[in-house]
Amino acid sequence: MSAEVEGHRGSRILGGTDARYAAIATLSTLVVLGGLTALVVTSPGWPSVKEKFFNRQEFQYWFSDVAHAFVANVQVFLIAEVLILIWALTIAVIRGLPGPVFFPLRVLAVIYTDVFRGIPTILVVYLLGFGVPALQLSGVPSSERFWGTVALVLVYSAYVAEVYRAGIDSVHPSQEAAARSLGLSRWQSLRHVIIPQAVRRVIPPLLNDFIGLQKDTALLSVIGVVEVFRQAELGQAADFNYTPLVIAAVLFIAITIPQARFTDWLIERDRRRQLAGGGTG
């Protein structure tokens, strides 16, 4: 039984453990990748594409500038992610509040998610980044990085609130009934029983949204933040070579791939736990 589970786990990525399967998979991969590479490398425009997009000197010359600018993106998404986790959960909880008293709050939460999921992120960034500082209110920051981060938090919280809501809805009502029968208040059962289970279930889709957010930090370029995309574009404009943009792409991949594998690992771990739970239950 446990051996079968082990074998099944191995199958998740490589597709099987027996040698023949592995050999065929390897051969097939080589043929497909080799074919694609040959197609690109032998295309008539390849020498100029290589020169314009994958230029070694350009890569070395611009790497430190582009990587330095990427720090701005990392700072923005780290701050935004923390704020999104809190703000989105607040919205999701408000949306799930029962009773007629909370009706206006629920309506506001619905409007919020509708509006901020409906407007393209680049427009929210643009309108907040130029619009709010134009109000010239004293005490309100005019920093475009500040307002760019606010825009990302507003937009992505709308998505993440929906993810949370799906998680909360997925917890069986008997869980709350059981918690209430133990004497926990509605709030306590939400806090100690429902949300912990809900959050655990939504971590993979949550990370999915965060990867989207990380890539969208490049949108802050439109309001004047010299982040990775803008710095790469400056390099492109200065040298007429697209290699700096390839550097930016490589940097994004370098941070998103580990997160994707981490998400896979979390999903796999949860699946195993559920299997184990199903066996004993």
Partner 1 sequence: MSRKLLLPALIAVALFAASCGSPASSSNSSGGSGGALNCTSSALQTHAPGTLTIGTDNPAYDPYFTGPAGGQWKGKYNHDPTAGQGFEDAVAYAVAQQLGYTREKVAWTALNWKQSFKPGPKDFDFYLAQVSISPKRQQSADFSVPYYTSTQAIVAKPGSPIAQATSLADLKSYQFGTESGTTSYDDINAVIAPTNQPKVYDTTNDVTQALSNGQIDGLVTDFPSAYYIANVEPGGLKIVGQFTSGSGADTWGLVLAKDSPLTACVNKALAQMKTSGKLQAIEQQWLANLSHAPILR
Pair of tokens at residue 203 = 């971590």
Q: Does 238 bind partner 1 (CB under 8 A)?
A: yes
Q: Does 234 bind partner 1 (CB under 8 A)?
A: yes
Q: Does 64 bind partner 1 (CB under 8 A)?
A: no
Piece of the chain touching partner 1 by CB under 8 A; list 26-34, 98-106, 183-191, 220-228? 220-228
Q: Does 67 bind partner 1 (CB under 8 A)?
A: no
Nearest to 148 by CA among 225, 229, 252, 84: 225
Give the number of other Cβ atoms within 10 Å of residue 18's Cβ. 8
Residues in the chain: 281
The enclosing H or E element of 60 equals: helix 56-95
Q: Provide, for the chain, the percentages of residues in helix, strand and coil under a 3-state DSSP scheme, each rounded to the nearest 5.
A: 85, 0, 15
Piece of the chain touching partner 1 by CB under 8 A; list 21-29, 93-101, 102-110, 135-143? 135-143
State in angstroms the smallest separation of the CB of 237 from partner 1. Answer: 4
**What residue type is assigned to position 3 of the chain?**
A
Q: Which residues contact 259 (CB under 8 A, 6 or more apart)?
A: 207, 210, 211
State in angstroms the smallest separation of the CB of 118 from partner 1. Answer: 23
Output 51 or 169, the one with its CB closest to partner 1: 51
Q: Does 264 bind partner 1 (CB under 8 A)?
A: no
124 touches 155 (CB < 8 A): yes
Piece of the chain touching partner 1 by CB under 8 A; list 35-43, 133-141, 179-187, 246-254? 133-141
Q: Does 61 bind partner 1 (CB under 8 A)?
A: no
Q: Does 226 bind partner 1 (CB under 8 A)?
A: yes
Output 78 or 237, the one with its CB closest to partner 1: 237
Near partner 1 in 70-99, by CB under 8 A: none
Position among 54, 59, 63, 130 found at the interface with partner 1 (CB under 8 A)? 130
109 touches 175 (CB < 8 A): no
120 touches 158 (CB < 8 A): no
Pair of tokens at residue 194 = 């429902």
- Give residues in contact with partner 1 (CB under 8 A): 52, 130, 133-134, 136, 142-144, 221-226, 230, 233-234, 237-240
